[in-house]
């Protein structure tokens, strides 16, 4: 049994889906649907568009959503939370994902070089505006139905 909060969902975009998932965990993950709601109407500020979408999905007013968020932030026990990536320096970040005499990565040895390359490229691109522009161009494909 785990005493850490658990969020479930992925692909949740309607009130019905939210209600189904809400009773199964401590939180419901809604990602790409919020992004789509934000870019759907450029005349509305992103924060307002996100608040309106969350209000629709949860069945609360935008004011109730805002109050709940501030109450959670004020009274939450943050001891279980992980540090944000901006709070981690490179050495601490590298050390966080290794352990033992040999590094202890959970990947087959044949993938270590690929993982190192992926990590190196991420460090180079994470602050590049052109990378994020291209990344955002793929939002339209996030959460779309796939054939199985």
**Over the stretch 24-67, which tens digit does the pLDDT of each residue have?**
888 888 888 888 888 888 898 988 898 889 888 988 876 776 67
Q: What are the beta bridge partners of residue 27? A: 7
Residue-range definition of the domain harbouring residue 104? 85-141
Question: Considering the chain, what is the average pLDDT of its residues?
Answer: 77
The pLDDT value recorded for residue 5 is 83
For residues 107 and 50, state if they share a domain: no
For residues 94 and 121, state if they share a domain: yes
| Contact yes or no for 58/14 (Cβ under 8 A) | no
For residues 75 and 12, state if they share a domain: yes
For residues 64 and 126, state if they share a domain: no
DSSP 8-state secondary structure symbol assigned to residue 84 = P
Across 59-68, 82-91, 139-148, least confident range: 82-91
How far apart CA 106 and CA 86 sit, in angstroms, is 24
The count of structural domains within the chain is 2
pTM of the full structure: 0.46
Q: Do the domain assignments include residue 128? A: yes
| Contact yes or no for 32/142 (Cβ under 8 A) | yes
Q: Calculate mean pLDDT across residues 94-123.
A: 76
The pLDDT value recorded for residue 88 is 44
How far apart CA 10 and CA 20 sit, in angstroms, is 12
Please determine, for residue 130, whether its predicted confidence score (pLDDT) is greater than 80. Answer: yes
The pLDDT value recorded for residue 140 is 82
């Amino acid at each position: 049994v785990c005493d850490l909060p658990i969020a479930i969902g992925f692909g949740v975009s309607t009130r019905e889906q939210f209600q189904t998932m809400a009773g199964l965990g401590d939180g419901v993950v809604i990602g790409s649907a919020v992004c789509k709601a934000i870019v759907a109407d450029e005349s509305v500020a992103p924060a307002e568009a996100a608040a309106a979408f969350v209000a629709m999905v949860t069945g609360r007013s935008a004011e109730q959503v805002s109050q709940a968020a501030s109450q959670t932030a004020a009274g939450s026990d943050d001891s279980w939370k992980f540090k944000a990536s901006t709070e981690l320096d490179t050495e601490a970040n590298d050390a966080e994902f290794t352990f033992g005499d040999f590094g202890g990565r959970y990947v087959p040895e044949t993938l270590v070089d690929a993982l190192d390359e992926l990590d190196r490229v991420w460090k180079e691109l994470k602050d590049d505006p052109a990378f994020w522009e291209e990344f955002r161009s793929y939002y339209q494909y996030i959460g779309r139905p796939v054939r199985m």
